């Protein structure tokens, strides 16, 4: 009966959400134009993302509380997109049960029926959380990911530490590999059938940032086809390198949540980091890109990723309604070597995201793509402003080799003393000319080095859209958004 009540309440919430979405932009000034947002209520981590080549749809599941706009009893919400820009909401696919609420996880397409649920079944592996612990469960879909049946033998892997969660599943040779967050380390498990798991190894002690719990891990293999070559990078490698993504909260470089990564080698059992233990590498140098995952089965063997565009320091009090939270634009990952010979993860807007560019215009609208060409021999200053005097100031500092963004006067910062902030990214590659791309939406700014050497994601809440841009030390091109 309890489950039936939850189901009815969740369905009612979805209906109310769609009604809310029909309101005008005046009622929802911060509803994004081209970022995924839930129809209503709370959302955090993206989950179980995969691409279906038959329907050519991207499937996104996400942590969702259908009963309110703050974190609560977690479900898996569901949305699909043909272009990673326009999203259609679908009914919730996973509900809490006697084992616990539904935390983060991942989906794979089981082409060879290794789990026994049918060829090409979509299998979700996810954390269930209850008062006495966290465990891993599975569910399967035979209709392309729109409905799931939970495995009667759940849980398939029981937790032995309080934080035992966020399984990311990938194929490693002839078996499945689970990358799992456990306290402040990452564990690796192997299985042939997604039901019986064998412990392989752990990584984390003494490496990277440990200011908070480790979450949302993913292990990615980069061979020569996924090695990008920014101007100064000439390195070739015959051996693949592996990147381990690990989100941490708190402990980010500017406070609260952030995603770090480690570069190393994987021998089928153990991850060995090639960087110094105290090295810290960050996926994004803004405040608002967390729990980033890639889509399983992305076209052309690409690593297409999305993150939760928020920060746990203030996520539950953001001034949006009737929804709370959005996801980043889709990004493609590759690996490059910086000026100091260090492997770095490159992040560029995906080809689908770049398709947003419309016609060149002289006027900045409330949603736009901006291309900046900045002189590498002098500092540059970029200011976004509105008629209320609210502004975001970005600086390219050639001497210090940094790009920064100051949102302390960006608009409404009153909801949290942690929100007003100034973020700084190292440039990593010294150039004669820097190209920066800004993706501007109703409540967000995402800045990218054109070749992916750094990215910066920050939320902003201006009382009016920014309608002015000024650039000192460079040139600017503004593009309308294709809606």
Alpha-carbon distance values, 440 to 259, 282, 402, 457 (Å) = 22, 22, 21, 10
Residue 122 burial by CB count (10 A; 0-12/13-18/19+): exposed, middle or buried? buried
Pair 65, 17: CB distance under 8 Å: no
With contact defined as beta carbons under 8 Å apart, do 3 and 95 qualify?
A: yes
Compute how many other C-beta atoms are within 10 angstroms of the C-beta atom of residue 471: 16
**Catalytic member of 45, 166, 332, 441:** 45
Q: How many residues does the chain have?
A: 483
Q: Any catalytic annotation for residue 45?
A: yes
Alpha carbon of residue 454 to chain centroid: 15
- Which residues, in sequence order, are CB contacts of 175 under 8 Å at separation 6+? 190, 191, 192
Q: C-alpha distances in angstroms, 266 versus 177, 181, 244, 272, 315? A: 12, 17, 10, 6, 35
CA distance 289 to 454: 13
Task: Find where tokens 């006067």 sit.
Answer: 409
Strand-pair partners of 406? 393, 422
Structure tokens at 331: 């990004």
Which candidate, 300, 309, 288, 374, places its Cα nearest to that of 334? 300
> 250: cis peptide before it, omega within 30°?
yes
Query: Which distant-in-sequence residues (6+ apart) come within 8 Å of 329 by Cβ?
Result: 34, 35, 84, 85, 306, 349, 350, 353, 439, 446
**Phi and psi angles of residue 169, each rounded to the nearest 5 degrees, phi first:** -105, 135
Give the catalytic positions in this structure.
45
């Amino acid at each position: 009966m309890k489950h039936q009540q939850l189901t009815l309440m969740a369905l009612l919430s979805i209906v109310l959400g769609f009604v809310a979405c029909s309101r005008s932009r005046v009622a929802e000034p911060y509803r994004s134009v081209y970022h995924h947002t839930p129809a209503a209520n709370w959302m955090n981590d993206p989950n179980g993302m995969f691409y279906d080549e038959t329907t050519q749809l991207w499937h996104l599941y996400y942590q969702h509380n259908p009963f309110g706009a703050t974190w609560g009893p977690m479900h898996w919400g569901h949305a699909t997109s043909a272009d990673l820009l326009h999203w259609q909401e679908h009914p919730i696919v996973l509900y809490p049960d006697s084992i616990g609420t539904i935390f983060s996880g991942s989906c794979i397409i089981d082409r060879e029926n290794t789990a026994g649920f049918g060829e090409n079944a979509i299998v979700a592996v996810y954390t269930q959380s209850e008062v006495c612990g966290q465990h891993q469960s599975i569910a399967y879909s035979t209709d392309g990911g729109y409905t799931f049946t939970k495995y009667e033998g759940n849980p398939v892997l029981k937790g032995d530490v309080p934080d035992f969660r966020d399984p990311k599943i990938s194929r490693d040779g002839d078996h499945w590999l689970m990358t799992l967050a456990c306290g402040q380390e990452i564990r690796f498990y192997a299985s042939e059938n997604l039901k019986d798991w064998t412990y392989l190894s752990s990584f984390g002690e003494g490496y990277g940032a440990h200011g908070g719990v480790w979450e949302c891990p993913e292990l990615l293999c980069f061979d020569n086809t996924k090695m990008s070559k920014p101007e100064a990078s000439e390195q070739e490698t015959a051996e693949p390198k592996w990147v381990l993504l690990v989100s941490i909260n708190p402990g980010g470089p500017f406070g609260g949540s952030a995603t770090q990564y480690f570069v190393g080698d994987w021998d089928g059992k153990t991850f060995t980091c090639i960087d110094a233990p105290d090295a810290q590498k960050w996926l994004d140098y803004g405040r608002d890109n967390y729990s980033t995952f890639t889509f399983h089965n992305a076209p052309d063997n690409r690593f297409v990723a999305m993150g939760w565009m928020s920060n746990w320091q203030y996520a539950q009090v953001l001034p949006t309604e009737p929804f709370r939270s959005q996801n980043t634009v889709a990004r493609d990952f590759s690996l490059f070597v910086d000026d100091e010979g260090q492997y770095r993860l490159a992040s560029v807007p995906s080809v689908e995201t770049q398709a947003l560019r419309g016609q060149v215009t002289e006027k900045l609208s409330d949603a736009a793509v901006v291309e900046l060409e900045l002189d590498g021999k002098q500092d540059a200053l970029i200011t976004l402003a509105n008629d209320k005097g609210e502004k975001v100031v970005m600086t390219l500092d050639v001497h210090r080799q940094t790009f920064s963004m100051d949102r302390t006067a960006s608009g409404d910062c009153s909801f949290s003393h942690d929100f007003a902030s100034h973020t700084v990214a190292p440039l990593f590659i010294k150039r004669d000319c820097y190209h920066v791309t800004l993706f501007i939406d109703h409540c967000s700014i995402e800045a990218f080095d054109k070749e992916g050497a750094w990215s910066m994601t920050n939320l902003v809440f201006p009382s009016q859209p920014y309608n002015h841009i000024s650039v000192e030390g460079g040139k600017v091109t503004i593009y309308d958004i294709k809606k």
